[in-house]
Amino acid sequence: MKEKLLSLSQKFSQAAVQPVMFLAIMGTGLAIAVIMQLSFMPSFVIFIGTLLKTMMNAMLNNLSIIFCVGLTTAFAKTKKVDAAIISLIVYIIFLAGNNAWLTSQNMLAQPGAMGLFGTGQNLVLGFQVVDMNVFLGIILGCITGYVFNKVSNIQFVEMFRVYGGSRFAFIIMIPITLILAIVLSYVWPVMNYGISCLSVFMKGAGALGVFVYAFGNRFLIPTGLHHLLWMPFCFTGFGGTAQIDGNTVQGAVNIFYAEMGSGANLTAIDPSIRFATFGFAKIFASLGIVLAMIKTAKPENKSTVKGLLIPALFVSMVAGITEPLDFAFLFISPLLWLVHGLLTGFSEMLLWVLGSRTYSIYGLLDTIVCNSVIDPKLSKIYIFFAVGIVMAIVWYFTFVFLIKKFDIKTPGREEEPLNNKTSYDSSTNNSSDNQNPELFIEGLGGAENIVEVNNCFTRLRIDVADINKVNKEIISKGKQKGVVIKGSNVQIIIGMTVESEKEKLVNVLNIKKQNIKKE
Indicate which residues carry an active-site annotation.
Answer: 456
Burial 428-454 (b: 16+ CB within 10 A, else e): eeeeeeebbbbbbbebbbebebbeebb
Long-range pairs, 258-265, Cβ under 8 A, ≥24? 258/57, 258/60, 259/374, 260/27, 260/30, 260/31, 260/34, 260/370, 260/373, 260/374, 261/30, 261/33, 261/34, 261/53, 261/56, 261/57, 261/60, 263/34, 263/373, 263/374, 263/375
Helix (H) or strand (E) holding 169: helix 166-204
What single-letter amino acid sits at 486?
Answer: K
Listed residue (512, 505, 500) closest to 446, CA to CA: 512
Q: Helices in 240-282 by DSSP H: which ranges? A: 252-261, 279-280
Among 273, 279, 271, CA closest to 218: 279
C-alpha span between 313 and 335 (Å, rounded): 21
Task: Look up residue 106 and give its amino acid.
Answer: N
For residue 455, what are the β-bridge partners?
460
- Whether the CB-CB separation of 286 and 360 falls below 8 Å is answered with no
